[in-house]
Structure 1
Amino acid sequence: MSEIVVRAATPADAAGMARVHVRAWQQTYRGQMPDEVLDAPDFVERRERFWTRALTDAEPGLRPAVAELDGEIVGIALAGPAQGEATPHDWQLYNLYMLAEHHGSGAGQRLIDAVLEDRASVLWVADPNPRAQAFYRRNGFVPDGASQGDAPREIRMVRA
């Protein structure tokens, strides 16, 4: 049986990262986000443009990573300098997505370790999203009371 490998992402990974990003959103946010957003015909294309920019025109300090099984990307993560004026830390986990069939494989943990290391960090997570919130709590994150948005609503979690 093959093992999931976690490595730094490269510009050649943009298309695979976009597919994972969209599929993970569809698996995770169905019922929390409008179907027309999740099923938009250009959703993968827009995410591919995002990942291409993130991987080629990256701001200094961005840390993208992928989890791959038999050459196919099954998880993605991106961290870097914190965004926003009133953030409690200077490092942020922007996203971490695993395809549902690979939840519990340990690859999500390896992704977060790869992009955050042991840094004090901040992240925003959908609420409700009990699985993700429990994962982040296991990694030392706690809600700090800040929230934003409504479809889905997000809460901020911080790790000292």
Structure 2
Amino acid sequence: MDTTDAVAPTLDIIVRPARDVDAESLGRVHAKCWHETYDHLISTAALERVSPLRLAELWTHWTKQGDEYHQHVALVDGEIVGFVGSGPARDEDAPRERELYYLYLLSAFHGTGIGQQLFDAACGDRQGYLWVADDNPRAHAFYKRNGLKRDGAQQVQPFLGEELLEVRLVR
């Protein structure tokens, strides 16, 4: 068969608001995403302490927050593969009223457009800001395509008992 005629399989993608019944799946996906995202920034020992069960417990709480929080999940063939959350700014010197708290997608789904769908669900074309690991070139490229730029602010955040240098991006 001539592979030039082959059609790439289409993914059955759904992006919808996160629900409390998603907590267990979100805990597993969250833990895996942290391993995939931070393995070059945080020690293996620290990442091994990540508990999908503990993250699921946190998600049970997070999915019950008020309407000012926008939390969505991306499902492929009915399985959660990523998630996003935004809400009111948390910083005293916040450059915008809204903050993107997190956007994680399993690495197997990078480059599929799912990350963009998640971003759009949480942020749309509104102004906002986020903190991102300084050493995360893939994320920086993604956010740059979405109109976010460094504003010069940076912080060292405790993360899993270690420290992570983050920079602020603003749109």
Matched, 1:43 2:12: no
Matched, 1:19 2:28: yes
Match of 1:147 in 2: 154
Match for residue 11 of structure 2 among 2, 8, 22: 2
Residues in 2 aligned to 1:2 and 1:98: alpha-carbon distance in whole angstroms: 15
Q: For the aligned residues, what is the CA RMSD?
A: 1.3
Residues in 2 aligned to 1:60 and 1:83: alpha-carbon distance in whole angstroms: 16
Give 1:127 deviation, angstroms: 1.2
Q: What is the DSSP-based 3-state SS (H/G/I as helix, E as strand, rest coil) of the residue aligned with 1:96?
A: strand
Match of 1:125 in 2: 132
Match of 1:158 in 2: 170
Residues in 1 aligned to 2:142 and 2:42: alpha-carbon distance in whole angstroms: 22
Instruction: Show structure 1 runs of 4+ deviating over 4 A.
Output: none
TM-score where L is the length of structure 2: 0.87
Matched, 1:86 2:120: no
Q: Which has the larger radius of gyration?
A: 2
How many percent identity over aligned positions?
Answer: 43
Matched residues, number? 157
List per-residue Cα deviations over 1:103-156 (Å, max 9, x = no partner). 001000000000111111010001110000000000000011111116321100
Give 1:60 deviation, angstroms: 4.1
List per-residue Cα deviations over 1:83-112 (Å, max 9, x = no partner). 011000010100000000000010000000
Q: Which runs of 5+ in 2 are unaligned?
A: 1-9, 158-162
Residues in 2 aligned to 1:82 and 1:15: alpha-carbon distance in whole angstroms: 27
Give 1:31 deviation, angstroms: 2.5
Where do 1:50-129 residues align within 5 Å?
Answer: 50-56=58-64, 58-129=65-136
Residues in 1 aligned to 2:40 and 2:126: alpha-carbon distance in whole angstroms: 33
Give 1:18 deviation, angstroms: 1.4
Residues in 2 aligned to 1:103 and 1:39: alpha-carbon distance in whole angstroms: 23
Whichever residue aligns with residue 113 of structure 1, its letter is D
